[in-house]
A and B are shown apart, each in its own frame.
Chain A
Amino acid sequence: MDSIFGLQGGDFVIVACDGSIAHSILKIKETEDKILKLDDHKIFGISGEGADRNSFGELVHKNHCLIRYKTGSYMNLQETAHFVRSMYAQAIRSRDGPHQCNGLLGGVDSDGTPSLYWLDYLGSLQKITRGAQGYANYFLLGLLDNQYKPNLTKEEGIEIIKKCIKELQTRFLIAQNKFIVKIVTKQGIEAFTI
Protein backbone atom coordinates (compact mmCIF):
# COMPACT_ATOMS: atom_id res chain seq x y z
CA MET A 1 0.00 0.00 0.00
CA ASP A 2 3.01 2.32 -0.09
CA SER A 3 3.08 5.17 -2.54
CA ILE A 4 6.46 6.00 -3.96
CA PHE A 5 6.71 8.36 -6.91
CA GLY A 6 9.38 10.44 -8.54
CA LEU A 7 10.32 12.87 -11.23
CA GLN A 8 13.53 13.80 -13.03
CA GLY A 9 14.09 17.38 -14.07
CA GLY A 10 16.82 19.33 -15.81
CA ASP A 11 19.28 19.21 -12.94
CA PHE A 12 17.47 17.45 -10.09
CA VAL A 13 15.58 14.31 -9.16
CA ILE A 14 12.68 14.17 -6.70
CA VAL A 15 11.46 11.03 -4.97
CA ALA A 16 8.46 11.22 -2.64
CA CYS A 17 6.91 8.61 -0.38
CA ASP A 18 3.97 8.37 1.96
CA GLY A 19 4.86 8.00 5.63
CA SER A 20 2.37 5.44 6.82
CA ILE A 21 2.96 1.96 8.09
CA ALA A 22 -0.24 -0.04 8.45
CA HIS A 23 -0.98 -3.35 10.11
CA SER A 24 -4.42 -4.80 9.29
CA ILE A 25 -6.74 -1.90 10.05
CA LEU A 26 -4.32 0.13 12.15
CA LYS A 27 -1.94 2.84 11.03
CA ILE A 28 0.98 2.20 13.38
CA LYS A 29 3.15 5.05 12.20
CA GLU A 30 2.67 8.08 9.98
CA THR A 31 6.16 9.47 9.71
CA GLU A 32 8.24 6.57 8.43
CA ASP A 33 10.94 7.59 5.99
CA LYS A 34 10.91 5.08 3.15
CA ILE A 35 13.51 6.86 1.05
CA LEU A 36 16.97 5.60 1.83
CA LYS A 37 20.00 7.85 1.42
CA LEU A 38 22.70 5.81 -0.26
CA ASP A 39 25.20 8.63 -0.28
CA ASP A 40 25.18 12.42 -0.66
CA HIS A 41 23.84 12.26 -4.20
CA LYS A 42 21.73 9.10 -4.39
CA ILE A 43 18.38 8.20 -2.88
CA PHE A 44 16.45 4.95 -3.09
CA GLY A 45 12.74 4.95 -2.33
CA ILE A 46 11.56 1.45 -1.43
CA SER A 47 7.99 0.19 -1.42
CA GLY A 48 7.10 -3.06 0.30
CA GLU A 49 6.15 -4.72 3.57
CA GLY A 50 8.08 -3.52 6.61
CA ALA A 51 10.69 -6.19 7.10
CA ASP A 52 11.50 -6.64 3.40
CA ARG A 53 11.79 -2.93 2.84
CA ASN A 54 14.05 -2.53 5.84
CA SER A 55 16.26 -5.51 5.25
CA PHE A 56 16.71 -5.02 1.51
CA GLY A 57 17.35 -1.34 2.02
CA GLU A 58 20.05 -2.14 4.57
CA LEU A 59 21.55 -4.74 2.23
CA VAL A 60 21.79 -2.24 -0.61
CA HIS A 61 23.18 0.52 1.59
CA LYS A 62 25.87 -1.58 3.23
CA ASN A 63 26.96 -3.25 0.01
CA HIS A 64 27.11 0.15 -1.66
CA CYS A 65 29.43 1.33 1.14
CA LEU A 66 31.50 -1.85 0.84
CA ILE A 67 32.09 -1.27 -2.87
CA ARG A 68 33.14 2.30 -2.16
CA TYR A 69 35.67 1.14 0.42
CA LYS A 70 36.94 -1.67 -1.78
CA THR A 71 37.34 0.40 -4.93
CA GLY A 72 38.05 3.79 -3.36
CA SER A 73 35.41 5.68 -5.34
CA TYR A 74 31.66 6.10 -5.50
CA MET A 75 29.68 4.36 -8.21
CA ASN A 76 27.77 6.59 -10.58
CA LEU A 77 23.99 6.27 -10.97
CA GLN A 78 24.06 3.81 -13.83
CA GLU A 79 26.47 1.52 -12.00
CA THR A 80 24.42 1.74 -8.80
CA ALA A 81 21.18 0.98 -10.60
CA HIS A 82 22.65 -2.06 -12.29
CA PHE A 83 24.18 -3.16 -9.00
CA VAL A 84 20.84 -2.96 -7.18
CA ARG A 85 19.18 -4.79 -10.05
CA SER A 86 21.70 -7.58 -9.76
CA MET A 87 20.90 -7.90 -6.04
CA TYR A 88 17.24 -8.33 -6.93
CA ALA A 89 18.05 -10.79 -9.72
CA GLN A 90 20.32 -12.98 -7.58
CA ALA A 91 17.52 -13.44 -5.07
CA ILE A 92 14.83 -14.54 -7.50
CA ARG A 93 15.41 -18.27 -7.40
CA SER A 94 17.16 -18.33 -4.07
CA ARG A 95 15.98 -20.31 -1.06
CA ASP A 96 14.20 -17.36 0.52
CA GLY A 97 12.70 -16.16 -2.74
CA PRO A 98 12.75 -12.70 -4.27
CA HIS A 99 13.08 -9.61 -2.09
CA GLN A 100 9.47 -8.50 -1.78
CA CYS A 101 9.97 -4.81 -2.44
CA ASN A 102 10.11 -2.44 -5.42
CA GLY A 103 12.10 0.73 -5.70
CA LEU A 104 12.80 4.03 -7.35
CA LEU A 105 16.47 4.93 -7.43
CA GLY A 106 17.28 8.55 -8.17
CA GLY A 107 20.31 10.75 -8.04
CA VAL A 108 22.67 13.17 -9.67
CA ASP A 109 26.11 12.26 -11.00
CA SER A 110 29.19 14.32 -10.31
CA ASP A 111 28.83 16.07 -13.67
CA GLY A 112 25.33 17.20 -12.75
CA THR A 113 23.27 14.76 -14.87
CA PRO A 114 20.20 13.54 -13.03
CA SER A 115 18.72 10.08 -13.51
CA LEU A 116 15.79 8.11 -12.15
CA TYR A 117 15.53 4.31 -12.35
CA TRP A 118 12.49 2.08 -11.80
CA LEU A 119 13.38 -1.23 -10.13
CA ASP A 120 11.17 -4.23 -9.64
CA TYR A 121 11.29 -7.13 -7.17
CA LEU A 122 12.06 -9.55 -10.03
CA GLY A 123 15.02 -7.57 -11.27
CA SER A 124 13.46 -5.31 -13.88
CA LEU A 125 15.33 -2.08 -14.47
CA GLN A 126 14.22 0.89 -16.52
CA LYS A 127 15.56 4.39 -16.73
CA ILE A 128 12.62 6.79 -16.59
CA THR A 129 11.87 10.49 -16.29
CA ARG A 130 8.75 10.07 -14.18
CA GLY A 131 7.13 7.12 -12.45
CA ALA A 132 5.64 5.53 -9.38
CA GLN A 133 5.50 2.27 -7.47
CA GLY A 134 2.41 0.57 -6.14
CA TYR A 135 -1.14 1.86 -6.33
CA ALA A 136 0.23 5.36 -6.89
CA ASN A 137 0.80 4.31 -10.51
CA TYR A 138 -2.90 4.27 -11.22
CA PHE A 139 -3.49 7.74 -9.87
CA LEU A 140 -0.35 9.57 -10.80
CA LEU A 141 0.99 8.38 -14.13
CA GLY A 142 -1.63 10.32 -16.05
CA LEU A 143 -0.92 13.44 -14.08
CA LEU A 144 2.86 13.03 -14.26
CA ASP A 145 2.69 12.46 -18.02
CA ASN A 146 0.49 15.50 -18.45
CA GLN A 147 2.60 17.84 -16.34
CA TYR A 148 6.03 16.67 -17.36
CA LYS A 149 8.11 18.61 -19.81
CA PRO A 150 11.82 18.38 -20.54
CA ASN A 151 14.24 20.39 -18.41
CA LEU A 152 11.93 21.16 -15.53
CA THR A 153 13.21 23.56 -12.88
CA LYS A 154 13.32 22.53 -9.24
CA GLU A 155 10.39 24.78 -8.32
CA GLU A 156 8.24 23.39 -11.14
CA GLY A 157 9.18 19.87 -10.01
CA ILE A 158 8.09 20.55 -6.45
CA GLU A 159 4.79 21.99 -7.71
CA ILE A 160 4.12 18.83 -9.71
CA ILE A 161 4.88 16.64 -6.69
CA LYS A 162 2.47 18.72 -4.61
CA LYS A 163 -0.22 18.18 -7.24
CA CYS A 164 0.48 14.44 -7.11
CA ILE A 165 0.11 14.41 -3.34
CA LYS A 166 -3.15 16.31 -3.59
CA GLU A 167 -4.41 13.83 -6.18
CA LEU A 168 -3.60 10.85 -3.94
CA GLN A 169 -5.29 12.52 -0.99
CA THR A 170 -8.38 13.21 -3.10
CA ARG A 171 -8.78 9.92 -4.92
CA PHE A 172 -6.92 7.15 -3.15
CA LEU A 173 -9.09 5.11 -0.82
CA ILE A 174 -6.33 4.79 1.74
CA ALA A 175 -5.82 8.02 3.63
CA GLN A 176 -2.19 9.08 3.38
CA ASN A 177 -1.73 12.30 5.19
CA LYS A 178 1.99 12.78 5.49
CA PHE A 179 4.43 12.58 2.63
CA ILE A 180 8.19 12.81 2.73
CA VAL A 181 9.82 14.42 -0.29
CA LYS A 182 13.55 14.28 -1.07
CA ILE A 183 15.24 16.27 -3.81
CA VAL A 184 18.72 15.54 -5.09
CA THR A 185 20.64 18.26 -6.85
CA LYS A 186 24.35 18.71 -7.52
CA GLN A 187 24.56 20.43 -4.13
CA GLY A 188 23.16 17.48 -2.23
CA ILE A 189 19.91 16.16 -0.80
CA GLU A 190 17.08 18.30 0.59
CA ALA A 191 14.26 16.65 2.49
CA PHE A 192 10.96 17.95 3.72
CA THR A 193 7.53 16.66 4.71
CA ILE A 194 4.25 17.73 3.19
Chain B
Amino acid sequence: MIDFDPSTFGLAHTYQKEDKDEINTLALPSAPQVIYKTLNGPTQINGGNKLTNFKHGTTTLGFVFKEGILLAVDSRASMGSFLSSEQVRKVIEINEYLLGTMAGGAADCQYWLAYLANHCRTYELKNGSKLSVAAASKFLQGILIGYRNSGLSMGCMIAGTDTTGQHLYYIDNDGMRLKGDIFSVGSGSTYAYGVLDNHYRYDLSLNEAVELGIRAIYHATHRDTASGGVVRVYHIHKDGWTKVHDGIDVVDLHYQFAKQKGLVGDGDEAKQRLF
Protein backbone atom coordinates (compact mmCIF):
# COMPACT_ATOMS: atom_id res chain seq x y z
CA MET B 1 0.00 0.00 0.00
CA ILE B 2 1.60 3.21 -1.07
CA ASP B 3 1.60 6.04 1.41
CA PHE B 4 1.04 9.35 -0.36
CA ASP B 5 3.34 11.83 1.25
CA PRO B 6 2.55 15.36 0.08
CA SER B 7 6.22 16.03 -0.66
CA THR B 8 6.20 13.45 -3.44
CA PHE B 9 2.82 14.27 -4.90
CA GLY B 10 3.00 14.49 -8.61
CA LEU B 11 6.29 12.68 -9.03
CA ALA B 12 6.37 9.44 -10.96
CA HIS B 13 8.13 7.88 -8.04
CA THR B 14 8.03 4.29 -6.88
CA TYR B 15 7.95 4.55 -3.16
CA GLN B 16 10.66 2.57 -1.44
CA LYS B 17 10.36 2.13 2.27
CA GLU B 18 14.03 2.79 2.87
CA ASP B 19 13.88 6.21 1.17
CA LYS B 20 11.01 7.30 3.33
CA ASP B 21 12.78 6.21 6.53
CA GLU B 22 15.95 7.99 5.57
CA ILE B 23 14.18 11.25 4.81
CA ASN B 24 11.42 11.41 7.33
CA THR B 25 12.39 9.48 10.44
CA LEU B 26 15.16 9.48 12.96
CA ALA B 27 15.88 5.81 13.24
CA LEU B 28 17.70 4.25 16.13
CA PRO B 29 21.24 3.24 15.26
CA SER B 30 21.23 -0.42 14.30
CA ALA B 31 22.71 -2.52 17.04
CA PRO B 32 23.84 -6.12 16.63
CA GLN B 33 21.08 -8.48 17.61
CA VAL B 34 22.00 -10.30 20.80
CA ILE B 35 20.99 -13.93 20.69
CA TYR B 36 21.08 -15.61 24.07
CA LYS B 37 22.31 -19.10 23.46
CA THR B 38 22.11 -21.80 26.09
CA LEU B 39 25.48 -23.15 27.16
CA ASN B 40 25.04 -26.64 25.88
CA GLY B 41 28.11 -27.46 23.84
CA PRO B 42 27.39 -29.93 21.05
CA THR B 43 23.75 -28.91 20.71
CA GLN B 44 24.72 -25.56 19.25
CA ILE B 45 26.11 -27.37 16.25
CA ASN B 46 22.84 -29.18 15.81
CA GLY B 47 20.91 -25.96 16.10
CA GLY B 48 19.56 -26.90 19.50
CA ASN B 49 17.82 -30.07 18.37
CA LYS B 50 16.05 -31.48 21.43
CA LEU B 51 16.61 -35.12 20.50
CA THR B 52 20.37 -34.83 20.57
CA ASN B 53 20.49 -32.52 23.55
CA PHE B 54 22.88 -34.50 25.70
CA LYS B 55 23.28 -32.31 28.74
CA HIS B 56 25.99 -34.43 30.21
CA GLY B 57 29.19 -33.35 28.48
CA THR B 58 31.20 -36.43 29.26
CA THR B 59 31.70 -40.08 28.42
CA THR B 60 31.54 -42.76 31.06
CA LEU B 61 31.06 -46.45 30.53
CA GLY B 62 30.84 -49.63 32.52
CA PHE B 63 30.32 -53.27 31.68
CA VAL B 64 30.04 -56.58 33.49
CA PHE B 65 32.29 -59.44 32.42
CA LYS B 66 33.52 -62.68 33.88
CA GLU B 67 36.21 -61.06 36.02
CA GLY B 68 33.86 -58.45 37.52
CA ILE B 69 33.01 -54.97 36.31
CA LEU B 70 35.10 -52.52 34.35
CA LEU B 71 34.49 -48.77 34.59
CA ALA B 72 36.20 -46.34 32.24
CA VAL B 73 35.67 -42.58 32.17
CA ASP B 74 37.10 -39.49 30.50
CA SER B 75 38.14 -36.41 32.49
CA ARG B 76 36.95 -33.31 30.66
CA ALA B 77 34.70 -30.63 32.17
CA SER B 78 33.37 -28.04 29.76
CA MET B 79 31.23 -24.97 30.32
CA GLY B 80 29.82 -24.32 26.86
CA SER B 81 32.85 -23.88 24.66
CA PHE B 82 35.23 -23.22 27.56
CA LEU B 83 37.21 -26.16 28.93
CA SER B 84 37.23 -25.71 32.64
CA SER B 85 39.27 -28.80 33.43
CA GLU B 86 40.94 -31.74 31.73
CA GLN B 87 41.64 -33.60 34.97
CA VAL B 88 38.28 -34.19 36.60
CA ARG B 89 37.80 -37.39 38.59
CA LYS B 90 34.55 -38.78 37.27
CA VAL B 91 34.68 -42.01 39.19
CA ILE B 92 33.66 -41.33 42.76
CA GLU B 93 34.95 -43.79 45.34
CA ILE B 94 31.92 -44.22 47.57
CA ASN B 95 33.56 -46.80 49.79
CA GLU B 96 35.97 -49.71 49.34
CA TYR B 97 33.36 -51.88 47.64
CA LEU B 98 31.19 -49.35 45.75
CA LEU B 99 32.03 -46.95 42.94
CA GLY B 100 29.88 -44.29 41.30
CA THR B 101 30.44 -42.55 37.97
CA MET B 102 29.61 -38.94 37.39
CA ALA B 103 27.78 -37.46 34.42
CA GLY B 104 25.67 -34.34 34.30
CA GLY B 105 26.02 -31.87 37.13
CA ALA B 106 29.28 -32.44 38.97
CA ALA B 107 27.96 -30.88 42.18
CA ASP B 108 24.84 -33.03 42.16
CA CYS B 109 26.76 -36.24 41.59
CA GLN B 110 29.45 -35.48 44.14
CA TYR B 111 27.01 -34.42 46.83
CA TRP B 112 24.51 -37.23 46.48
CA LEU B 113 27.14 -39.93 46.11
CA ALA B 114 28.81 -38.63 49.27
CA TYR B 115 25.40 -38.72 50.95
CA LEU B 116 25.06 -42.31 49.77
CA ALA B 117 28.50 -43.10 51.20
CA ASN B 118 27.38 -41.72 54.55
CA HIS B 119 24.22 -43.82 54.43
CA CYS B 120 26.17 -46.99 53.53
CA ARG B 121 28.58 -46.50 56.44
CA THR B 122 25.76 -45.81 58.91
CA TYR B 123 23.96 -48.96 57.76
CA GLU B 124 27.15 -50.98 58.13
CA LEU B 125 27.69 -49.76 61.68
CA LYS B 126 24.08 -50.25 62.72
CA ASN B 127 23.52 -53.63 61.12
CA GLY B 128 26.95 -55.21 61.14
CA SER B 129 26.88 -56.04 57.44
CA LYS B 130 27.53 -54.08 54.29
CA LEU B 131 24.71 -52.59 52.24
CA SER B 132 24.18 -54.49 48.99
CA VAL B 133 24.66 -52.76 45.62
CA ALA B 134 20.98 -53.19 44.85
CA ALA B 135 19.96 -51.52 48.11
CA ALA B 136 22.48 -48.69 47.74
CA SER B 137 21.30 -47.92 44.22
CA LYS B 138 17.67 -48.14 45.31
CA PHE B 139 18.36 -45.67 48.12
CA LEU B 140 19.78 -43.21 45.61
CA GLN B 141 16.82 -43.76 43.30
CA GLY B 142 14.46 -42.92 46.14
CA ILE B 143 16.23 -39.61 46.71
CA LEU B 144 16.18 -38.72 43.03
CA ILE B 145 12.48 -39.53 42.68
CA GLY B 146 11.84 -37.13 45.53
CA TYR B 147 13.75 -34.34 43.79
CA ARG B 148 12.37 -35.20 40.39
CA ASN B 149 11.23 -31.78 39.16
CA SER B 150 13.80 -29.71 41.00
CA GLY B 151 16.31 -29.57 38.18
CA LEU B 152 18.92 -32.06 39.37
CA SER B 153 21.08 -33.34 36.56
CA MET B 154 22.69 -36.73 37.14
CA GLY B 155 23.32 -39.73 34.96
CA CYS B 156 25.38 -41.98 37.13
CA MET B 157 26.27 -45.62 37.32
CA ILE B 158 26.61 -47.42 40.65
CA ALA B 159 28.88 -50.42 40.46
CA GLY B 160 30.02 -52.57 43.31
CA THR B 161 30.50 -55.92 44.86
CA ASP B 162 28.53 -57.65 47.57
CA THR B 163 27.83 -61.17 48.76
CA THR B 164 25.79 -61.94 45.64
CA GLY B 165 28.48 -60.85 43.17
CA GLN B 166 29.34 -57.74 41.17
CA HIS B 167 26.45 -55.60 39.95
CA LEU B 168 26.07 -52.54 37.73
CA TYR B 169 23.15 -50.10 37.95
CA TYR B 170 22.33 -47.00 35.92
CA ILE B 171 20.49 -44.23 37.77
CA ASP B 172 19.41 -40.88 36.40
CA ASN B 173 17.78 -37.69 37.62
CA ASP B 174 14.36 -38.80 36.30
CA GLY B 175 14.42 -41.48 38.96
CA MET B 176 15.07 -44.35 36.57
CA ARG B 177 17.14 -47.23 37.90
CA LEU B 178 18.20 -50.01 35.57
CA LYS B 179 20.24 -53.08 36.17
CA GLY B 180 22.33 -54.12 33.21
CA ASP B 181 25.50 -55.52 31.73
CA ILE B 182 26.63 -52.62 29.53
CA PHE B 183 26.00 -48.93 30.06
CA SER B 184 27.52 -45.80 28.64
CA VAL B 185 26.42 -42.35 29.75
CA GLY B 186 27.08 -38.88 28.46
CA SER B 187 27.35 -36.91 25.26
CA GLY B 188 29.99 -39.29 23.92
CA SER B 189 28.06 -42.40 24.88
CA THR B 190 26.79 -43.14 21.39
CA TYR B 191 30.34 -43.29 20.06
CA ALA B 192 31.45 -45.46 22.94
CA TYR B 193 28.48 -47.81 22.45
CA GLY B 194 29.56 -48.37 18.87
CA VAL B 195 32.92 -49.73 19.92
CA LEU B 196 31.62 -51.44 23.05
CA ASP B 197 28.75 -53.32 21.38
CA ASN B 198 31.05 -54.50 18.64
CA HIS B 199 33.75 -56.06 20.83
CA TYR B 200 31.97 -56.92 24.07
CA ARG B 201 31.83 -60.55 25.20
CA TYR B 202 31.12 -61.78 28.70
CA ASP B 203 34.25 -63.96 28.73
CA LEU B 204 36.76 -61.17 28.14
CA SER B 205 39.95 -61.47 30.14
CA LEU B 206 40.88 -58.56 32.42
CA ASN B 207 43.48 -57.23 29.97
CA GLU B 208 41.08 -57.42 27.04
CA ALA B 209 38.37 -55.70 29.04
CA VAL B 210 40.71 -52.87 30.08
CA GLU B 211 41.81 -52.48 26.46
CA LEU B 212 38.16 -52.37 25.33
CA GLY B 213 37.25 -49.75 27.93
CA ILE B 214 40.21 -47.59 26.94
CA ARG B 215 39.45 -47.88 23.25
CA ALA B 216 35.78 -47.06 23.67
CA ILE B 217 36.54 -43.93 25.71
CA TYR B 218 39.25 -42.91 23.24
CA HIS B 219 36.85 -43.14 20.29
CA ALA B 220 34.23 -41.15 22.18
CA THR B 221 36.72 -38.43 23.09
CA HIS B 222 37.96 -38.29 19.51
CA ARG B 223 34.54 -37.54 18.05
CA ASP B 224 32.77 -35.77 20.90
CA THR B 225 33.94 -32.24 21.66
CA ALA B 226 32.70 -32.37 25.22
CA SER B 227 34.78 -35.43 26.14
CA GLY B 228 38.53 -35.64 26.42
CA GLY B 229 41.45 -35.31 28.78
CA VAL B 230 42.60 -38.62 30.19
CA VAL B 231 41.10 -42.08 30.50
CA ARG B 232 40.70 -43.49 34.00
CA VAL B 233 39.95 -47.18 34.42
CA TYR B 234 38.69 -49.03 37.49
CA HIS B 235 38.08 -52.74 37.98
CA ILE B 236 35.58 -54.11 40.48
CA HIS B 237 36.09 -57.66 41.64
CA LYS B 238 34.95 -59.77 44.55
CA ASP B 239 37.41 -58.17 46.98
CA GLY B 240 36.49 -54.57 46.18
CA TRP B 241 37.84 -52.27 43.50
CA THR B 242 41.25 -51.49 41.98
CA LYS B 243 42.30 -48.44 40.05
CA VAL B 244 43.81 -49.95 36.91
CA HIS B 245 44.77 -46.70 35.17
CA ASP B 246 44.83 -43.31 36.81
CA GLY B 247 45.11 -41.23 33.65
CA ILE B 248 46.13 -42.14 30.11
CA ASP B 249 46.19 -39.10 27.85
CA VAL B 250 43.81 -39.60 24.94
CA VAL B 251 46.10 -37.65 22.64
CA ASP B 252 48.84 -40.22 23.23
CA LEU B 253 46.28 -42.96 22.61
CA HIS B 254 45.33 -41.36 19.33
CA TYR B 255 48.85 -41.56 17.92
CA GLN B 256 49.38 -44.99 19.44
CA PHE B 257 46.27 -46.45 17.80
CA ALA B 258 47.06 -44.73 14.52
CA LYS B 259 50.55 -46.22 14.53
CA GLN B 260 49.03 -49.68 15.08
CA LYS B 261 47.22 -49.23 11.80
CA GLY B 262 50.27 -47.90 10.03
CA LEU B 263 48.90 -44.38 9.93
CA VAL B 264 50.43 -41.12 11.08
CA GLY B 265 47.31 -39.90 12.86
CA ASP B 266 47.19 -36.46 11.29
CA GLY B 267 43.66 -36.98 9.98
CA ASP B 268 44.77 -36.97 6.34
CA GLU B 269 43.82 -40.56 5.62
CA ALA B 270 41.78 -39.50 2.62
CA LYS B 271 44.83 -37.75 1.17
CA GLN B 272 42.95 -34.74 -0.03
CA ARG B 273 44.98 -32.77 -2.55
CA LEU B 274 43.73 -29.57 -4.00
CA PHE B 275 46.20 -29.22 -6.83
Contacts and interface: CB of A to CB of B under 8 A. Distances in A.
Interface of A: 21, 23-26, 28-29, 31-32, 49-51, 54-55
Contacts of A32: 178
15 contacts: A23-B172, A24-B51, A24-B52, A24-B54, A25-B52, A26-B190, A28-B170, A28-B178, A32-B178, A50-B178, A51-B144, A51-B145, A51-B148, A51-B174, A54-B177
Contacts of A29: 178, 180
A96 B51 CA distance: 26
Contacts of B170: 28
A54 B144 CA distance: 13
Nearest to A51: B175
B258 interface: no
Contacts of A51: 141, 144-145, 148, 174-176
Which 7 A-B residue pairs are closest in the complex by CB-CB distance?
A: A51-B175, A50-B176, A51-B174, A51-B176, A29-B180, A29-B178, A24-B51
B75 interface: no
A25 B191 CA distance: 12
Interface of B: 51-54, 141, 144-145, 148, 170, 172, 174-178, 180, 183, 189-190, 193
A26 B193 CA distance: 9
A55 B190 contact: no
Interface of A is mostly: mixed
Contacts of B180: 28-29, 31
Contacts of A49: 174, 176
A26 to B, nearest CB: 6
A58 B141 CA distance: 13
Contacts of A23: 172
B175 A50 contact: yes
A50 B52 CA distance: 19
A32 B176 CA distance: 12
Given A51-B148, A54-B175, 5 more contacts: A23-B172, A24-B53, A25-B51, A28-B178, A55-B175
Nearest to A25: B51
Contacts of B141: 51, 54
A21 B52 CA distance: 17
Nearest to B177: A54
B192 to A, nearest CB: 11
A32 to B, nearest CB: 7
B177 A25 contact: no
B198 to A, nearest CB: 15
B222 to A, nearest CB: 19
B189 A26 contact: yes
Contacts of A21: 176, 178
A25 B190 CA distance: 9
A55 B148 CA distance: 12
Contact of A28 (B52, B175, B183): B183
Contacts of A28: 170, 178, 180, 183
B142 to A, nearest CB: 9
A32 B181 CA distance: 12
B54 A55 contact: no
A54 B190 CA distance: 25
A51 B193 CA distance: 23
A133 B144 CA distance: 27
A114 to B, nearest CB: 31
Nearest to B142: A55
B10 to A, nearest CB: 65
